[in-house]
Amino acid sequence: MIATVVGVGLIGGSLAISLKEKGVANWIIGVDYNEENLKRAQELNIIDEGSNLEDAMSRSQLIILAIPVDALLQTLTSILDKVGPQHVIMDVGSTKQKLLQLVTGHSKRGRFVAAHPMAGTEYSGPDAAVRNLFAQKTMVLCDVKNSDEDAVEMIESMVDKLSMRTVYMNAEEHDLHTAYVSHISHITSFALALTVLKKEKEQGRIFELASGGFESTVRLAKSSPDTWVPIFKHNRNNVLDVLEEHINQLEQMKKLLQDEDYETFYKLIQKSNKIRKILK
């Protein structure tokens, strides 16, 4: 099968590598509005050739859209306008409600499968693409009832070959849950980085003292604004809701420290320790 990956960055590039390695596709066409990224992806052997979307669609069966969610919103309708019954279109976007609202009722809606692999790193671009990014991770498939059965089956078979688990949700659930387990983590990392950069003038001292704990809470702050601003924009209400709750929790801790109420602080930490049951 010939597959096209639109957007040859971290996620698209990593998918291209895995699709080829796991035998899902034997030829990968890359499409990217950024000519340099496209060239680089070819140099790195992530894709077999670079082309434009029209040519790529005329020759491939599976088209994966791995572009920021604002770009998805701008292009998905016009892409669907051009698909035939042989095509399956899948996205990998981090927000789903607006996107699926947009294509509701489109005559080709059935050819589209909304997907979100819960995997990534804080890096971006083709050089960030890595082997095995998806193995043992979760692929969320959204509102599959609105996709054609054969299209869903093709994606399920792909997910299976990538050694991923599948979780089915509607778009609303997806956006709510990802606000909790992904989007807020990025907000706190960005804010923590800004806090430390602002407060700490002698950066060398941070570097000397920063150990694993600091690094792990702040590493997401390296993430690209091109990816994340559109996500926050499209999941604004959920993100605001979780952010508000998070600020409340921090305010509560601040109050306990101000009041020197260490007994309640102790109980609060014990309560937060329950996250052990959820994380490995």
Contacts for 179 with CB less than 8 Å, ≥ 6 apart:
235, 238, 239, 241, 242
- Under rule CB under 8 A, residue 67 binds its own copies: no
- Under rule CB under 8 A, residue 261 binds its own copies: no
Helical H runs in 83-183? 97-103, 149-161, 171-178
Q: Which C-beta is closer to its own copies: that of 49 or that of 229?
A: 229
- Under rule CB under 8 A, residue 142 binds its own copies: no
Query: Structure tokens of 277?
Result: 């049951």
DSSP 8-state code for residue 141: E
Burial of 191 from C-beta contacts in 10 A (0-12 / 13-18 / 19+): middle
* Residue 177: half-sphere exposure toward Cβ, Cα within 13 Å: 13
Instruction: Assess contact for 235 and 179: CB atoms under 8 A.
Output: yes
- Under rule CB under 8 A, residue 102 binds its own copies: no
**Contact stretch for its own copies (CB under 8 A) within 14-22, 71-79, 147-155, 225-233:** 225-233
In the complex, the smallest distance separating the C-beta of residue 106 from its own copies, rounded to whole angstroms, is: 27
Question: 152 to 211, contacts with its own copies by CB under 8 A?
Answer: 165, 167, 173, 177-178, 180-182, 184-200, 203, 205-211
Q: Which C-beta is closer to its own copies: that of 63 or that of 190?
A: 190
Of 143, 141, 89, the residue nearest 116 (C-alpha)? 141
**Backbone dihedral angles phi then psi of residue 94, each to the nearest 5 degrees:** -85, -10
Of residues 138, 148, 156, 160, which one binds its own copies by CB under 8 A? 138
In the complex, the smallest distance separating the C-beta of residue 224 from its own copies, rounded to whole angstroms, is: 8
In the complex, the smallest distance separating the C-beta of residue 159 from its own copies, rounded to whole angstroms, is: 14
In the complex, the smallest distance separating the C-beta of residue 61 from its own copies, rounded to whole angstroms, is: 29
- Under rule CB under 8 A, residue 225 binds its own copies: yes
Contacts for 182 with CB less than 8 Å, ≥ 6 apart:
94, 118
CA angle 270, 276, 278 (to 5 degrees): 125
- Under rule CB under 8 A, residue 132 binds its own copies: no
Q: Which C-beta is closer to its own copies: that of 2 or that of 253?
A: 253
Q: Which C-beta is closer to its own copies: that of 63 or that of 184?
A: 184
Q: Which C-beta is closer to its own copies: that of 101 or that of 272?
A: 272
In the complex, the smallest distance separating the C-beta of residue 269 from its own copies, rounded to whole angstroms, is: 4
Of residues 39, 106, 109, 137, which one binds its own copies by CB under 8 A? 137
Question: 80 to 99, contacts with its own copies by CB under 8 A?
Answer: none
> Is the alpha carbon torsion for 179, 8, 133, 152 positive or negative?
positive
